[in-house]
Amino acid sequence: MNGCGNAFAIFDARDHGGTMQLTPAQIKTIVETSACDQIMAIESTPDNTDAFMRIWNANGEEVSACGNGTRAVAWWLMEEAKTDAVTVRTKAGELLASRVGDHLICVDMGQPRLGWEEIPLSERMDTRGIDIKVGPIDAPVLSMPGAVNMGNPHAVFFVEDVEQIAVQSIGSLLEHHPLFLQGANIGFAQVRSRDEIRLRVWERGAGLTRACGTGACAALVACHRRGLTGRKARLILDGGELLIEWRKTDDHVLMTGPVKWEYEGEAQGV
């Protein structure tokens, strides 16, 4: 499946022991044969949620959250149960998803974590603009990105023209900056208006993808905290559009976007 062009290989492990573990070699084979950005496993859960979603990046790292992947898995579960709402458990917590149109899913991504120790950073600082510079120290090309944790850590640079940014070289350079204790996704946000943001994201462990759901959520939060946008905006990514709202009533971030079913098959030797 894919969400805004963000491609996933999704395995249903519920009838095969209920859980799934993959070796780095298996992950490499899956990524190469399916051309996916990330791998998901739908697992059984003993609680009142509909399923547990396990997530691996293309580099073999297991991660806690994936916004576009959550929409894809939620749609699958809704189709299966013939319902319009499901709860998906992840390592980042429970996520409530609802159907809002044909192949259009809204996920409540919960509250953003904004404290320096919640990102987490190696030093105490104001996360509205953290101390990272790219280029000459006295005249940096980029500086002071906002930091937001949306189940995974993000640093969002505010740029004038995202098409002129060397996302791959800068993203790979900063992904494991010493300030990020767990690494970070590196976003580049161009604010076009109070309700529109053009965004590209270098994803930790996956590289430059066509869309990043948690990155879109982080970008809206970071931009609003800097007074650049309202609490709701359309995010334009390489693979499509997401509608993100940082709800004032409960501080939750809502992400709405499309999902697409590509094909299915039977896994061999996994």
Which H or E element spans position 259?
none
Residue 268 within a domain: no
* Total structural domains within the chain: 2
The pLDDT tens digits of the residues spanning 202-242 come to 999 999 999 999 999 999 999 999 999 999 999 999 999 99
Residue of 242, 217, 229, 140 whose CA lies nearest to 192: 229
User: How far is residue 164 from each of residues 138, 161, 167, measured CA to CA in Å?
Assistant: 21, 6, 9
Contacts of 115 (CB under 8 A, 6+ apart): 127
Residue 261 within a domain: no
Mark whether 55 and 157 lie in a shared domain.
Answer: no
Eight-state DSSP code of residue 141: S
pLDDT value of position 263: 87
Mark whether 131 and 252 lie in a shared domain.
Answer: yes
CA distance 46 to 109: 22
User: How far is residue 203 from each of residues 93, 207, 245, 259, measured CA to CA in Å?
Assistant: 20, 5, 21, 19
The pLDDT tens digits of the residues spanning 97-143 come to 999 999 999 999 999 999 999 999 999 999 999 999 999 989 999 99
Contacts of 124 (CB under 8 A, 6+ apart): 116, 117
- Burial grade of 234 (CB within 10 A; 0-12, 13-18, 19 or more): middle
Provide the CATH number for the domain around residue 246: 3.10.310.10
Strand partners, 187: 156, 201
| Residue 93 identity | G
pLDDT over 60 (residue 270): no
The pLDDT tens digits of the residues spanning 154-204 come to 999 999 999 999 999 999 999 999 999 999 999 999 999 999 999 999 999
| Residue 124 identity | R
Contact status, residue 202 vs residue 172, Cβ threshold 8 Å: yes
* Active-site residue list: 66, 212
Q: Which domain does 196 fall in, by range?
A: 116-256
The pLDDT tens digits of the residues spanning 64-101 come to 999 999 999 999 999 999 999 999 999 999 999 999 99
User: How far is residue 130 from each of residues 55, 121, 167, 204, measured CA to CA in Å?
Assistant: 28, 9, 19, 18
CA distance 109 to 68: 11
pLDDT value of position 267: 66
Report the b/e string of 102-120 with b at 16+ CB within 10 A. eeebbbbbbbbbbebeebb
- Burial grade of 231 (CB within 10 A; 0-12, 13-18, 19 or more): middle
CA distance 48 to 64: 20
Mark whether 133 and 230 lie in a shared domain.
Answer: yes
Helical H segments across 121-212, by residue range: 167-174
Last residue of a domain, one of 47, 79, 110: 110
Last residue of a domain, one of 110, 142, 174: 110
Helical H segments across 107-200, by residue range: 167-174
The pLDDT tens digits of the residues spanning 4-49 come to 999 999 999 998 888 999 999 999 999 999 899 999 999 999 888 9
Is the overall model pTM greater than 0.85, yes or no? Answer: yes
Mark whether 83 and 196 lie in a shared domain.
Answer: no
